[in-house]
């Protein structure tokens, strides 16, 4: 331990933590002290003897590189650098010092964690090479924690202790000059002692490595629960100041998370609330069912949880009375959620167990939520675990109030007994609902992609060369491109559009409408660089009859003349007004990592207001399309909502695949293409792209 000192907060913490394990030999290195915490020191690493496994560096930033060089010369294979003052510093010299560390790592075989990190804890091996302050005990368990923020490791440890969540590893990666968070996650996903990974990330330096981790977690059924910051400008700036991180486009991560079932948490508390379910084999290996039966000892909790479940898209099936009427007191209503009352719970534990048993059978692979103040009464745990095994349903206990802590602090259970059990116990209703919803989504995604296919193995939709040629001609003038220019591209792709004509002559538009036998029509005034025509008075709807068409054309031309970039003769688009089952938005975007993301959502002018969108990485599969429909809650439209006929799923699937393939093949020439709205027709009748917009890039770059 280089820089060990009685007065150094971090090295003092390290010495106390490492001293817990008598099998660990610690050699303090300090040329100015004879002893540190009673341990004899040596003046340098070269005096520390042989058989050293790890060097912990806690000296000033400009002294770190010489210390690492000494360690490498002494044959030390790995180092943890807790020293700060590198790229995270406001001092420009810090970046230079970190670059020098990176060059050193590249030239040696030594692996380095940090700098500006707090180290790591291997819980099951009893190795606490962690400089954080002494807090509550770390409970041995199955959740591995990886954090780029060292201070947040304290929040993980304390929060896990409060919830009786057991941990397998805790690691702080800091500035990641060598070992990255993705490196640790790649190791941990195959660790038999770890069944779920929790991470706090400010940046991802290697997106391919992250994608491999996410794919592997999904394949093995080990949930990856992340708090990824950097969604806003303020958050990005804070991340940069903290670890020198460049967070990257959040759209990339949204797409990856949705595709691989990565669970995103907004706070560490929310992440740890999900953890008991994520580490439970029964919950993480489920069917993806969202059916929930609830039994509670409090009527208020039963009502509240019903609302929470609905918010998360969980289902509360009706409860069949069956034999329950003869089991429960007459004053207990047989409904879902069921309020059995605390009094009935205490007076008749046999009836309580019979109710839970009946609900577990009714759930048929779904969920049973047991709401109590204390998690278990005598014998309940064994009974519930047997139910999980026999029924195939998932049972979750929500401890309301602070019942779990009171139960534990009262000595009725050991922390390690609660952690990682088949029947997880969570603190409160919100935690239970978040956990069930997250795991249902994870399991549903896992079922869809269980074949463990790679993205390279997905067959791509062919893009006609003429479509690419037309797009590249349009892209020669980079910027926002509207439907007038994109029309020929869409036609070459076989994307259906409304019957239409563009002309500056009102008479020509009137004749076209008559010749085509069009009823109500739409007229649009295309202006270069204008993305949202309706907001700027450049769209007229429900126009019918020659006089109305002529007047609308003149009005639009007058409006177009007020835009400085518009030039006479002000051509107007007349388009048949298409109706259908619903409007959706379909888009494909090339992100800053070079990946293409396809987005589906409810469309029209309310697309931003509704914000009901979902994303998948291109190229798409049939399963991806199903996932998009489920995530956006468009599935009922395509199944036939109420008296409506089913929507044309096949046509929408072709459209999604086509725009994704176009964005892939076009390369940097196309940054984004959006079709909004797309009018979905009944099955067999197709889907019509009513409007289109694109942002083009550099057509001369190699895609």
Q: What is the pLDDT of residues 131-145, one digit of tens each?
A: 998 889 899 999 999
DSSP designation for 585: E
Asked if the model's pLDDT at residue 409 lies above 90, the reply is: no
**Cβ contacts of 353 within 8 Å, gap of 6 or more:** 380, 383
Supply the pLDDT for residue 105.
Answer: 95
Supply the pLDDT for residue 402.
Answer: 66
581-599 mean pLDDT: 87
Yes or no: say if 279 and 141 are a contact pair by the CB < 8 Å rule. yes
H helix intervals, 51-150: 61-73, 92-107
Q: How confident is the model at residue 416 (pLDDT cuts 50, 70, 90)?
A: low
Supply the pLDDT for residue 240.
Answer: 39
Higher pLDDT, residue 239 or 405: 405
Higher pLDDT, residue 449 or 166: 166
Quote the tokens at residue 505.
């002559």
3-state secondary structure of 325: helix
359-374 mean pLDDT: 88
| Interval 81-111: pLDDT, tens | 999 999 998 888 999 999 999 999 999 999 9
Asked if the model's pLDDT at residue 243 lies above 50, the reply is: no
Asked if the model's pLDDT at residue 403 lies above 70, the reply is: no
Q: How far apart are CA 57 and CA 617, in angstroms?
A: 42
474-485 mean pLDDT: 84
Supply the pLDDT for residue 353.
Answer: 84
Yes or no: say if 69 and 105 are a contact pair by the CB < 8 Å rule. no
Q: How confident is the model at residue 451 (pLDDT cuts 50, 70, 90)?
A: very low
Supply the pLDDT for residue 456.
Answer: 45
Q: How confident is the model at residue 474 (pLDDT cuts 50, 70, 90)?
A: confident
Q: How far apart are CA 156 and CA 30, in angstroms?
A: 32
Minimal CA–CA distance to 73: which of 96, 103, 104?
104
Please write down the HEC assignment for all residues of 384-400.
HHHHHHHHCCEEEEEEC
Q: How many CB atoms lie within 10 A of CB 249?
A: 17
Q: How confident is the model at residue 259 (pLDDT cuts 50, 70, 90)?
A: confident
Minimal CA–CA distance to 146: which of 182, 108, 110?
182
pTM, to two decimals:
0.81
Terminal Cα-to-Cα distance of the chain (whole angstroms): 50
Supply the pLDDT for residue 379.
Answer: 66
Yes or no: say if 338 and 295 are a contact pair by the CB < 8 Å rule. yes
Least confident residue range of 118-127, 192-201, 227-236, 659-668: 227-236
Supply the pLDDT for residue 232.
Answer: 54
Asked if the model's pLDDT at residue 475 lies above 50, the reply is: yes
Q: How far is CA 681 from the centre of its chain?
A: 32
Supply the pLDDT for residue 373.
Answer: 64
Yes or no: say if 667 and 701 are a contact pair by the CB < 8 Å rule. yes
Supply the pLDDT for residue 626.
Answer: 81
H helix intervals, 419-482: 429-448, 465-475
Asked if the model's pLDDT at residue 208 lies above 90, the reply is: no
Higher pLDDT, residue 604 or 90: 90
Supply the pLDDT for residue 321.
Answer: 74
Q: How confident is the model at residue 262 (pLDDT cuts 50, 70, 90)?
A: very high
Asked if the model's pLDDT at residue 545 lies above 80, the reply is: yes
Please write down the HEC assignment for all residues of 401-432.
CCHHHHHHHCCCCCHHHHCCCCCCEEECHHHH
Supply the pLDDT for residue 308.
Answer: 96
Asked if the model's pLDDT at residue 302 lies above 70, the reply is: yes
Supply the pLDDT for residue 610.
Answer: 62
H helix intervals, 516-631: 546-560, 607-610, 622-631
Q: How confident is the model at residue 289 (pLDDT cuts 50, 70, 90)?
A: very high
Supply the pLDDT for residue 320.
Answer: 82
- Residue reference for tokens 């039963």: 302
| Interval 660-680: pLDDT, tens | 999 999 998 999 999 999 999
Asked if the model's pLDDT at residue 283 lies above 60, the reply is: yes
Supply the pLDDT for residue 298.
Answer: 85
Q: How confident is the model at residue 534 (pLDDT cuts 50, 70, 90)?
A: confident
Averaged confidence pLDDT in the chain: 88
Supply the pLDDT for residue 676.
Answer: 92
Q: How confident is the model at residue 256 (pLDDT cuts 50, 70, 90)?
A: confident
Asked if the model's pLDDT at residue 292 lies above 70, the reply is: yes
Q: How confident is the model at residue 521 (pLDDT cuts 50, 70, 90)?
A: very high
Q: How far apart are CA 407 and CA 404, in angstroms?
A: 5
**Cβ contacts of 331 within 8 Å, gap of 6 or more:** none
**Cβ contacts of 465 within 8 Å, gap of 6 or more:** none
3-state secondary structure of 219: helix
Asked if the model's pLDDT at residue 649 lies above 70, the reply is: yes
Q: How far apart are CA 309 and CA 305, in angstroms?
A: 6
Supply the pLDDT for residue 242.
Answer: 38
Asked if the model's pLDDT at residue 702 lies above 70, the reply is: no
Asked if the model's pLDDT at residue 63 lies above 90, the reply is: yes
| Interval 148-164: pLDDT, tens | 999 999 999 999 998 88
Q: How confident is the model at residue 231 (pLDDT cuts 50, 70, 90)?
A: low
Range 282-302 burial, b when 16+ CB lie within 10 A, else e: bbbebbbbbbbbbbbbbeebb
Q: How far apart are CA 595 and CA 601, in angstroms?
A: 20
Q: How confident is the model at residue 299 (pLDDT cuts 50, 70, 90)?
A: confident
- Helix H or strand E segment including 292: strand 292-296
- Helix H or strand E segment including 486: helix 483-493
| Interval 8-36: pLDDT, tens | 899 999 999 999 999 999 999 999 999 99
Highest mean pLDDT among 7-11, 514-518, 640-644 belongs to 514-518
Supply the pLDDT for residue 412.
Answer: 56
CA distances for 561 relative to 528, 535, 553, 572, angstroms = 12, 16, 12, 12
3-state secondary structure of 97: helix
Supply the pLDDT for residue 377.
Answer: 61
């Amino acid at each position: 331990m280089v820089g060990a000192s009685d007065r150094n907060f971090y090295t003092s913490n390290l010495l106390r933590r490492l001293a817990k394990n008598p099998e660990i030999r610690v050699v303090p290195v300090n040329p100015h002290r004879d002893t540190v915490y009673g341990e004899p020191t040596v003046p340098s690493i070269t005096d520390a003897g042989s058989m050293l496994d790890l060097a912990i560096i806690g000296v000033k930033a400009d002294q770190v590189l010489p210390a690492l060089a000494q360690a490498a010369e002494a044959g030390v294979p790995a180092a943890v650098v807790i020293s700060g003052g590198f790229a995270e510093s406001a001092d420009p010299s810090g970046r230079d010092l970190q670059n020098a560390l990176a060059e050193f790592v590249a030239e040696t075989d030594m692996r380095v964690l940090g700098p500006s990190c707090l180290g790591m804890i291997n819980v099951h091996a009893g190795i606490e090479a962690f400089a954080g302050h002494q807090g509550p005990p770390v409970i041995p368990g199955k959740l591995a924690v990886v954090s780029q923020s060292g201070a947040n490791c304290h929040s993980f440890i304390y929060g896990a202790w409060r919830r009786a969540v057991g941990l397998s590893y805790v690691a702080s990666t800091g500035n990641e000059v060598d070992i990255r968070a993705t490196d640790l996650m790649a190791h941990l996903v195959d660790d038999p002692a770890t069944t779920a990974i929790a991470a706090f990330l400010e940046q991802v330096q290697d997106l391919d490595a992250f994608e491999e981790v996410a794919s592997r977690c999904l394949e093995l059924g080990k949930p990856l629960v992340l708090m990824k910051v950097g969604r806003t400008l303020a958050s990005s700036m804070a991340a940069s100041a903290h670890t020198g991180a460049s967070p990257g486009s959040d759209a990339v991560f949204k797409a990856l998370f949705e595709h691989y079932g990565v669970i995103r948490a907004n706070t560490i508390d929310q992440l740890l609330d999900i953890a008991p379910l994520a580490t439970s084999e029964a919950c993480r290996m489920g069917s993806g069912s969202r059916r929930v039966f609830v039994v509670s000892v409090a009527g208020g909790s039963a009502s509240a949880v019903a609302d929470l479940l609905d918010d998360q898209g969980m289902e509360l099936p009706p409860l069949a009375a069956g034999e329950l009427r003869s089991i429960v007191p007459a004053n207990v209503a047989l409904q879902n959620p069921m309020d059995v009352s605390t009094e009935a719970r205490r007076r008749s534990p046999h009836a309580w167990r019979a109710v839970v048993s009946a609900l577990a059978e009714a759930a048929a692979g779904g969920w049973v939520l047991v709401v109590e103040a204390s998690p278990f009464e005598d014998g309940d745990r064994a009974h519930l675990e047997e139910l999980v095994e026999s029924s195939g349903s998932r049972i979750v206990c929500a401890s309301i109030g602070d019942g779990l802590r009171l139960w534990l602090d009262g000595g009725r259970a050991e922390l390690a007994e609660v952690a990682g059990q088949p029947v997880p116990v969570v603190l409160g209703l919100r935690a239970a609902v978040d956990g069930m919803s997250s795991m249902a989504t994870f399991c549903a995604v896992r079922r869809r992609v269980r074949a463990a296919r790679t993205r390279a193995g997905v067959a791509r939709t062919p893009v006609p060369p003429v479509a690419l040629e037309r797009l590249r001609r349009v892209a020669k003038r980079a910027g926002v491109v509207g439907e007038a220019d994109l029309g020929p591209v869409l036609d070459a792709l076989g994307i259906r559009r409304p019957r239409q004509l563009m002309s500056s002559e009102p008479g020509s538009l009137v004749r076209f409408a008559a010749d085509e036998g069009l009823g109500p029509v739409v007229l649009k005034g295309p202006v270069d660089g204008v993305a949202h025509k309706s907001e700027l008075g450049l769209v007229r709807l429900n126009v019918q009859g020659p006089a109305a068409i002529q007047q609308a054309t003149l009005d639009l031309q007058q409006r177009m003349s007020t835009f400085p970039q518009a030039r006479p003769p002000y051509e107007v688009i007349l388009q048949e007004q298409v109706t259908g089952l619903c409007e959706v938005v379909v888009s494909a975007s090339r992100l800053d990592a070079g990946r293409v993301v396809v987005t589906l959502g409810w469309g029209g002018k309310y697309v931003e207001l509704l914000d009901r969108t979902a994303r998948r990485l291109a190229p798409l599969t049939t399963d991806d399309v199903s996932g998009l429909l489920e995530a956006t809650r468009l599935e009922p439209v395509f199944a036939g909502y109420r008296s409506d006929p089913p929507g044309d799923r096949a046509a929408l699937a072709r459209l999604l695949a086509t725009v994704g393939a176009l964005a892939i093949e076009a390369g940097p020439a196309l940054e984004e293409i959006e079709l909004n709205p797309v009018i979905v027709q009944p099955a067999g009748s197709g889907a019509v792209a009513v409007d289109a917009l694109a942002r083009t890039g550099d057509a001369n770059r190699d895609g």
